[in-house]
Amino acid sequence: MRRRTLLATGLAAGLPALPVLAQGAPAAPRRVHALSLLGEPNLPAEFTHFPWVNPEAPKGGEITLYALGSFDSFNPYILRGTAAVGSGVLYDTLLKQSSDEASAEYGHLAGVVELPADGRGVTFELREGARWHDGRPITADDVVWTFNTLRQHGRPFYRAYWADVSEVVAEGPRRVAFRFSTDQNRELSLILGQLAVLPKHWWEGRDFTRPLLEAPLGSGPYRIERFEAGRSVAYRRVADYWGRDLPTMKGTNNFDVMRYEYYRDATVSLEAFKAGSIDFRTENVARDWATGYDFPAVRRGLVKRDEIRHELPTGLQGFIMNERRPLFQDRRVREALGLVFDFEWMNANLFYGSYTRTSSYFSNSDFASRGLPEGREREILERFRDRLPPEVLTREFKVPVTDGSGNNREGARRALELLREAGWTVRDRRLTNAQGQRFEFEILLNGPTFERVALPYIQSLQRLGIEARVRTVDPPQYQVRMDGFDYDMTVEVFGQSSSPGNEQRDYWTSAKAEENGSRNTVGIKDPVVDAIVEMIVNAQTIEELTAACRALDRVLLWGFHSIPQWHSRSFRLAWWDKFGRPERNPRRALGLDSWWVDPAKERALAAARSAG
């Protein structure tokens, strides 16, 4: 057996691969309680609870949260319909992610994970006593049915994410084995652990491909208590939840009821919070965080606020151009459109200086490219030198920087030069090509919040003779148009984890460019990108993974496939003062599921409201 460096199979004990026995018999599989991509998991097999939670947190009370838009389904796994928020609490996953570690998952629905020595599979043993809310046991057949159904009928993401799984079989009532077509996919065992298992017997006779507007059967800590389609949904804690005493659940899911109220936009939801209709809110609008929380309840101390630093990779948010459209297929055109985006003016005048400009698809992580390519990263890029822009190997990528005055003359001048090289000239104050086609396009948005960003950008484009217009639609219509790639430009977020891997196929590869519902929203079709993505998926050491991610980052940046915007390295929270919270937050998540209602605070708040 060929030995390899195991970044991937993490393998809870952090041990090296077992050797082949002297007699030629295969080495025994490894049985572990957790998986980690980056060495040993922090917690031993006998851990009793995650370290950031309060295991004695009281159960009870209610929390009201908000959501934007509408919903018409409780099936978040398919393209059709708009799924209600919060439905993840209905189901258990095979493993549960640790929000304190970069990439580690611990046994949850599966109590034991078995890993063959050849690295070509993983087996999960379900816990005895795991059951659905109707009392029936959760079985290996449920796992097999879920996996096959999602891969066949679910969103395209699943087919990309699990592409290297060749077979899944139930080897017994509680034992399910996944077999792999390769031993090189370092994270496949871990991402299979993220599988939310669905009840095969409940779905029999129902069409999985259609939106679901009835409360589904689950196994998780909550069930749907009531809902009003498009307006609200309430989840009630399951008092006899089978997994309530698991180490992965202790101190979490403490609210008796979690209710989500839907609002048409963020402004209305903020007013609902001020009125006390919403208990807790994360604030994503810098202007509102700076100016929108000066109201009586804040001044009286009834509403608390906090900013919590986190260690999450922030990925990339930006304007993306749909390169399926001929208008955006010239790299020089895409670069020109980015040169007139004036982040410095926006940050000073719209965001109160609260954001950092994003300059990488892997921002806030070690996988972000920097300086000039060196070492293994350079070796990867040299392999494709004749198919890459020369700048990839010779220049450090830097996003354009302005003086923040709002008069970005240098950016406009350079942009016009590039547009002229691409065949566009200004005639009668309109940018036009040799065929008489005018340069005009639509920016698709899913709510009014981003209009104040898009409109100044449109004014900058007008100085080049470009006519851009904003089209704002409601979230369900927006999702339909995104799934069908029916847009010119829009705002997209490419989220990244602490260990990039199989999801990169769905983001960037040619195979996904024409598959409706994929995350290749840009429409990139580049064999170089395809090849580097496979290097990421199959990287066997952290050094190889880092080099491949930086190489991909550099190729994407110099392709000018997006106009990077900004990111924040903290959560901004506001809540009515009725909650208790652990002494610290997990490093890589908000951790709201470990908060609880404090009865004394709740009584004091009610009295203060009455007195007020």
User: Looking at residue 2, what is its pLDDT?
Assistant: 31
pLDDT tens per residue, range 402-449: 999 999 999 999 999 999 999 999 999 999 999 999 999 999 999 888
For residue 131, pLDDT over 90 is answered with yes
pLDDT tens per residue, range 282-318: 999 899 999 999 999 999 999 999 999 988 889 999 9
Nearest to 359 by CA among 347, 343, 374: 343
User: Looking at residue 25, what is its pLDDT?
Assistant: 57
- pLDDT averaged over every residue in the chain: 93
- Residues 6+ away with beta carbon under 8 Å from 605: 302, 576, 577, 578
CATH 3.40.190.10 residue ranges of the chain are 222-310+569-611
For residue 367, pLDDT over 50 is answered with yes
Separation in Å, CA 315 to CA 357, 492, 494: 12, 11, 6
> Tokens representing 352?
């109160």
pLDDT tens per residue, range 386-403: 999 999 999 999 999 999
Average pLDDT over residues 575-599: 95
Q: Residue 303 forms beta bridges with which residues?
A: 576
User: Looking at residue 301, what is its pLDDT?
Assistant: 97
What's CA 229's distance to the chain center, in Å?
A: 25
> Are residues 579 and 329 in contact, defined by beta-carbon separation less than 8 angstroms?
no
Q: Determine the CATH number of domain 222-310+569-611.
A: 3.40.190.10
Least confident of 2-6, 98-102, 355-359: 2-6
User: Looking at residue 447, what is its pLDDT?
Assistant: 87
> Tokens representing 231?
């307006």
Domain at 316-567, CATH homologous superfamily:
Dipeptide-binding Protein; Domain 3 (3.10.105.10)
How far is 71 from 69, CA to CA, in rounded Å? Answer: 7
pLDDT tens per residue, range 504-539: 999 999 999 999 999 999 999 999 999 999 999 999
- Residues 6+ away with beta carbon under 8 Å from 4: 17, 119, 183, 540
> Tokens representing 47?
């851990």
pLDDT tens per residue, range 186-195: 899 999 999 9
> Are residues 266 and 278 in contact, defined by beta-carbon separation less than 8 angstroms?
no
> Are residues 84 and 233 in contact, defined by beta-carbon separation less than 8 angstroms?
yes
Its sign, for the CA torsion 234, 238, 243, 249, is positive
> Tokens representing 221?
């800590």
Q: At what angle do helices 409-421 and 331-339 cross, to 10 degrees?
A: 170
User: Looking at residue 3, what is its pLDDT?
Assistant: 27
